[in-house]
């Protein structure tokens, strides 16, 4: 199953961050984070909350619901 997180890549790139830098924030690997961006792996809720706080957006925004 593919998951859809189109905004996490856009937010990362808008801030000129690498996947490895965001992965460190989440205490995960670059490979795992890449799977989130590609929609291969579902983002765990605790990572979703961390990203929302970091980017100062809502989880709904990250999930494409707004």
Q: What is the pLDDT of residues 50-60, one digit of tens each?
A: 999 999 999 99
Is 90 exceeded by the pLDDT of residue 64? no
pLDDT value at residue 6? 86
pTM, full prediction: 0.91
pLDDT tens digit sequence for 6-48: 899 999 999 999 999 999 999 999 999 999 999 999 999 999 9
pLDDT value at residue 4? 80
Lookup result for tokens 């690498």: 18
Structure tokens at 45: 């809720």
Is 70 exceeded by the pLDDT of residue 1? no
Q: Which residues contact 55 (CB under 8 A, 6 or more apart)?
A: 11, 15, 62
């Amino acid at each position: 199953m593919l998951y859809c997180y189109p905004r996490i890549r856009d937010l990362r790139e808008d801030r000129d961050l690498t996947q490895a830098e965001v992965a460190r924030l989440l205490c995960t690997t670059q490979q795992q984070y890449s799977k989130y961006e590609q929609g291969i792996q579902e983002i765990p809720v605790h990572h979703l909350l961390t990203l929302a706080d970091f980017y100062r957006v809502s989880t709904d925004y990250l999930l494409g619901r707004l």
